[in-house]
Amino acid sequence: MVQVIFLGPPGSGKGTQSARLSEFLAVPHISTGDILRTHVAQQTDLGQKAKAFMDQGDLVPDQLILSMVQDRLDQPDAQKGWILDGFPRNVTQATFVEDLVKQQQVEKGSENADSKSLNTINLEVPDEVLIERLLARGRADDSEETIRHRLQVYHEQTEPLIEYYRDRNQLSIVNGNLPLDQVTAALKNAIVA
Helices 91-107 & 160-167, crossing angle to 10 degrees? 40
- The answer to the question of residue 40 being in a domain is no
- The answer to the question of residue 71 being in a domain is no
Provide the domain limits for residue 182. Answer: 2-31+81-192
* Overall number of domains in the chain: 1
- Measuring CA to CA, how many Å separate 125 from each of 14, 56, 175, 182, 189? 11, 23, 7, 14, 19
| Confidence (pLDDT) at 179 | 97
pTM for the complete prediction? 0.82
Instruction: Say if residue 193's pLDDT is above 80.
Output: no
Least confident of 36-40, 68-72, 111-115, 151-155: 111-115
- The answer to the question of residue 44 being in a domain is no
For residue 153, name the pLDDT band (cuts at 50, 70, 90): very high
Mean of the per-residue pLDDT values for the chain? 89
For residue 151, name the pLDDT band (cuts at 50, 70, 90): very high
| Confidence (pLDDT) at 88 | 92
CATH number where 137 lies: 3.40.50.300
**What's the pLDDT tens digit per position in 80-127?**
999 999 889 889 899 999 998 888 778 877 655 455 578 999 999 999
